[in-house]
């Protein structure tokens, strides 16, 4: 029986030492990658601190002012007159809810306009996306030219932020909610079109082949083979988009494209301090309510188990 001399060869090849060799090799490799990643990260961090002038002294000077500002925009409410209505002379008592929300009717009208803007823009955008998504799906496009053109078109639609489109539309057709609706509709068409075409690409092709087999043309293949499969997902994505569009239409007003955004911009830049929280609160409540509502509708449409 031959004894094994552990120190004999320079490279013993029993299992343990092979494992150890391999492990140290891997560790070296990972160490190199880690140093590279950390170096790149620190470089990016340094550069971004430098270009955005995020220096400790500026931050130290700025931070207290942030809290100061949040202090000044808080409403001055007094509990004893909180629910006081307007007096006989039509004036509200300072410190009451009526005083804080004295422009309540204006805000509500603008909020309703904002929701309608989002709804119209979502319907228009979803319709455009519905028409665009079939030629933009790899498995359904009639030919590669149409496929590439419709893909690029949707990329341009969603690549530019909606507020830039709004800026352009305000310039072209004037101030008002129409500019906002068109801007959000274009952005939605691009964003939804991408999601829709991904759904199409995951759809089963068997119904399509069946319809092709009995002599259906391209439109009939789409109408009877694909649409019934993908419709629940389309509805769910459109509802999700509606939520996003409510947020978007609450800010396009900053550039004059209608909705509550104009009022928000006005109260913030005119130092109407307690009004800022008044408007913001309404916007947050609206957005939250619509979130909850559309989540309910989504689960109703496609069932909770299909959501994820």
Partner 1 sequence: MTAMTLQSISSSDIASVRQSHPQAFGSTFSTITRWAIWLSVIFYVIGSLYYFEVYRLLDASGRALNLIAAFFNWEDMGEWQYRQIYIGIAQTLGMAFLGTLLGTVMALFIGFFAARTTMPFVVVRQIVRRILDILRGVDQLVWGLVFVRAVGLGPLAGVLAIAVSDTGTLSKLYSEALENVDRKQVEGIRSTGAGPLKIARYGYLPQVLPIFISQSLYFFESSTRSATILGLVGAGGIGMIIIERFRANLFDQVAFVVLNVLVCIFVIDWLSKKIRARLIGETSH
Contact of 117 with 249, CB cutoff 8 Å: yes
Tokens of 17: 């030492």
For partner 1, which is the closer residue by CB, 163 or 226? Answer: 163
Residue 92 CA neighbour count, 13 Å, CB half: 17
Asked whether position 177 contacts partner 1 by CB under 8 A, the answer is yes
30: left (phi over 0), alpha (psi -120 to 50) or beta: alpha
Q: How far is the CB of 43 from partner 1 (least distance, A)?
A: 11
> To 10 degrees, what angle do helices 104-133 and 144-159 make?
160
Asked whether position 16 contacts partner 1 by CB under 8 A, the answer is no
Alpha carbon 72 to its chain's center: 30
Asked whether position 50 contacts partner 1 by CB under 8 A, the answer is yes
Asked whether position 276 contacts partner 1 by CB under 8 A, the answer is yes
Q: How far is the CB of 261 from partner 1 (least distance, A)?
A: 8
Asked whether position 302 contacts partner 1 by CB under 8 A, the answer is no
Tokens of 105: 């009717």
**Window 141-170: residues binding partner 1 (CB under 8 A):** 159-161, 163-164, 167-168
Which among 268, 248, 267 has a CA at the least distance from the CA of 258? Answer: 248
Contact of 187 with 165, CB cutoff 8 Å: yes
Q: How far is the CB of 80 from partner 1 (least distance, A)?
A: 27
Instruction: List the one residue from 23, 27, 58, 86 that touches partner 1 (CB under 8 A).
Output: 58
CA distance 304 to 308: 8
| Residues making contact with partner 1 (CB under 8 A) | 44-45, 47-54, 58-59, 61-62, 65-66, 68-70, 116-117, 119-120, 123-124, 159-161, 163-164, 167-168, 171-174, 176-178, 181, 247, 250-251, 254-255, 258, 264-265, 268-269, 276, 280, 283-284, 287-288
């Amino acid at each position: 029986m031959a004894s094994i001399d552990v120190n004999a060869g320079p490279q013993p090849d029993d299992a343990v030492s092979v494992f150890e060799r391999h492990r140290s090799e891997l560790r070296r490799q990972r160490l190199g990658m880690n140093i590279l990643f950390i170096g790149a990260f620190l470089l990016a961090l340094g550069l971004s601190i430098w270009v955005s002038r995020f220096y400790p002294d500026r931050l130290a000077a700025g931070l207290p002012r942030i809290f100061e500002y949040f202090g000044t925009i808080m409403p001055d409410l007094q509990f004893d007159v909180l629910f006081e209505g307007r007096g006989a002379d039509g004036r509200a008592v300072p410190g009451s809810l009526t005083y804080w929300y004295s422009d309540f009717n204006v805000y509500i009208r603008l909020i309703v306009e904002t929701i309608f803007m989002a709804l119209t823009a979502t319907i228009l955008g979803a319709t455009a996306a519905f028409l665009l998504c079939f030629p933009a799906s790899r498995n359904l496009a009639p030919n590669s030219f149409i496929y590439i053109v419709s893909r690029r078109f949707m990329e341009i639609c969603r690549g530019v932020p909606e507020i830039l489109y709004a800026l352009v539309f305000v310039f072209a057709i004037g101030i008002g909610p129409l500019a906002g609706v068109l801007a959000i509709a274009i952005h939605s068409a691009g964003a939804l079109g991408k999601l829709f075409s991904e759904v199409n690409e995951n759809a089963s092709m068997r119904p399509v082949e069946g319809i092709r087999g009995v002599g259906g043309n391209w439109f009939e293949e789409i109408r009877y083979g694909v649409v019934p499969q993908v419709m629940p997902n389309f509805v769910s994505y459109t509802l999700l988009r509606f939520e996003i569009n409510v947020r978007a239409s609450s800010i396009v007003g900053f550039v004059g494209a209608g909705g509550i955004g104009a009022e928000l911009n006005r109260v913030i830049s005119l130092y109407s301090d307690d009004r800022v929280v008044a408007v913001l609160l309404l916007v947050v409540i609206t957005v939250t309510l619509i979130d909850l509502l559309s989540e309910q509708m989504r689960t109703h449409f496609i069932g909770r188990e299909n959501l994820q």
